[in-house]
Amino acid sequence: MNCYKYMFKELYDQTLFSRLYKYEKKMIKQLPKMINNVQYPYKNEYNILKKINDPNIIKINEVYEDTDYFYNVMDFYERGDLYFNINNRRLSIKDYKKLLKKIIEPIFIVHKLNIVHMDLKLENYVLDNNSNNFILIDFHLAQTHPYSYYKLEQISNIVGTKPFIAPEIYDGYYCKSSDMYSLGC
């Protein structure tokens, strides 16, 4: 794979462990392979997303890696995330009524595939470039959960964004309903 066609000219965003670069109409997510001499689960998002084929869930177009980093190449959604669109009053009251259905549908799809997103928040829904649908993104914390909806499964770390973390995660457990708690927040 010719990774050099993506010349990282514009750092778009940075999280605790990843960097997002914008290149033309693509977003390149750079993930470290090691953090503090411990292997980081850098392929988790890729492995989760290759199981999903839904127009309302982000797709990875290509991947590549070098000695230190793994890169996911995805489409860039220039219309912004749900948080941005609400704060800038780009959605009307009429839109809010349709919005709830649009943000719940992708969650049901991933749950049917036994996946828990683990980081649902307004910033992880982006407005599609060609429609008024929201695309669910950022699956790097996602976990598989092949059990019933409420069966708690142990988790080794507290993950997610603090205001949206379900209470059971603080106790070291998660389940599919943990996503619904986050969505409610």
List active site positions.
119
Contact 176, 149 (CB under 8 A): yes
Contact 164, 180 (CB under 8 A): no
Structure tokens given for 9: 């000219």
Residue among 150, 2, 137, 15 nearest 79 (CA): 137
Contact 40, 29 (CB under 8 A): no
CA distance 61 to 50: 10
